[in-house]
Chain A
Amino acid sequence: MTAKIKPSKGAPYARILGVGGYRPTRVVPNEEILKHIDSSDEWIRSRSGIATRHWAGPDETVAAMSVEAGGKAIADAGLTPEQIGAVIVSTVSHLKQTPAVATEIAHLLGTGKPAAFDISAGCAGFGYGLTLAKGMITDGTAEHVLVIGVERLSDLTDLEDRATAFLFGDGAGAVVVGPSKEPAIGPTVWGSEGDKSDTITQTLPWDVYREQDAADVRYPALRQEGQAVFRWAVYEMAKVAQQALDEAGISADELDAFIPHQANMRIIDSMIKTLKLPEHVTVARDVETTGNTSAASIPLAMERLLATGQAKSGDTALVIGFGAGLVYAATVVTLP
């Protein structure tokens, strides 16, 4: 007999209710990067727009940074930790796979017993987490979801690799997503292109240490084919961003803010041109002082735009993340 199962009942829509960020205390200027690679401050600034980045110290673990950012986001949403029904953590740089770091973070935040799990979607991780959160809220499986993007990419940076040594930074960004009477998170345009998986990748899998003497193996790091990734980003990702606008029914004129993944200022500048964003649209340029923090970059940049008054609550923002996979996710949101 097929018995009738009672369906879950969710909110009509979801919205971002609060945002929080954590940047490690140590600021690393380009001069420090130059100790290990043949380059110049001028070259790094002109090719990437990056002047400084934050690198985490021993106490600024993935969990510790997440707790700081997550706690701020919960407070910003006007909630208490017990009201969080699910914790989603996107990261590629938590170097202990099991258990999911989300469970430890949920515990340290005092959230009780929420659903908690990690996802791996590289620099698109924030958009992937946000999309899951929205689905959970409209489905009714959670009322408030904490989405955290967190990275310690300095642990996976080869200081002697000219193509990446200057790019990456550490930090955590978080949002709380909850119920809404009005649509405040648009349709997500997302996808993957696994045929390009080699363009951004960890050099070696961890099990190399089982086969070889650790002393003979260069520690795994992130590598990329910079030009191929740049080309993909400026060509394909501008189209994805446009599609997210179209699907949300928002014109470039109606936008208040553009918060792209903070990979490289040159990619951001190129996207602005292709999307023909009008002057009045505030553009997140956090990469200059934060570097590329992968899954953390969009919520960190969002928090800074709001904290500095460059954007305000209720503004309409286009967000797009893209990176290793290759994967991408774009949507339009109402800012908290």
Chain B
Amino acid sequence: MAATQEEILEGLAEIVNEIAGIPTEDVLLDKSFTDDLDVDSLSMVEVVVAAEERFDVKIPDDDVKNLKTVGDAVEYILKHQG
């Protein structure tokens, strides 16, 4: 069953917490991965890989660049989840 926006945000927050050690409550829609959450380009790849598994979605390398904020990622997953 497709995940809702809240569920995706919650899931992403857990992933970011696991990979970058950021408290889940700090992972909010308007936060930038690199500037606010200390997720660098390689951690971002790990976040994407984990998100693909969790939400049954494919996020190609070329699209990863456009996911600047948590909100971008939530929206992308919402649109593309299988």
Residue ranges of A at the interface with B (Cβ–Cβ < 8 Å)? 46-47, 227-228, 230-231, 234-235, 266, 270, 273
Size of interface on B: residues with Cβ below 8 Å to A: 10
| Total CB contacts across the A-B interface at under 8 A | 23
State the CA gap A266–B45 with chains docked (Å): 11
- CB pair B61–A234 under 8 Å, yes or no, is no
State the CA gap A228–B40 with chains docked (Å): 15
Closest to A228 in B: B61
B40 interface neighbour in A46, A231, A235, A273, Cβ under 8 Å: A46
- CB pair B40–A234 under 8 Å, yes or no, is no
- CB pair B42–A47 under 8 Å, yes or no, is yes
Closest to B48 in A: A231
Instruction: Tell whether B72 is near chain A: CB-to-CB under 8 Å.
Output: no
Min distance, Cβ B39 to any Cβ of chain A, angstroms: 12
A266 interface neighbour in B18, B42, B48, B64, Cβ under 8 Å: B42
- Interface of B (DSSP majority class): helix
Q: Pull 8 A–B residue pairs with CB atoms less than 8 Å apart, ordered by A.
A: A46-B40, A47-B41, A227-B61, A227-B64, A230-B45, A231-B48, A231-B61, A234-B46
With A227-B61, A230-B42, A231-B48 known, 11 other A-B pairs at CB within 8 A are: A46-B40, A47-B40, A47-B42, A227-B42, A227-B64, A228-B61, A231-B49, A231-B61, A235-B49, A270-B46, A273-B18
Residues from chain B with Cβ under 8 Å of A270 in the complex: 46
- CB pair B49–A227 under 8 Å, yes or no, is no
State the CA gap A47–B41 with chains docked (Å): 9
Q: Which residues of B30-49 are within 8 A (CB) of A?
A: 40-42, 45-46, 48-49
State the CA gap A234–B45 with chains docked (Å): 9
Residues from chain B with Cβ under 8 Å of A46 in the complex: 40
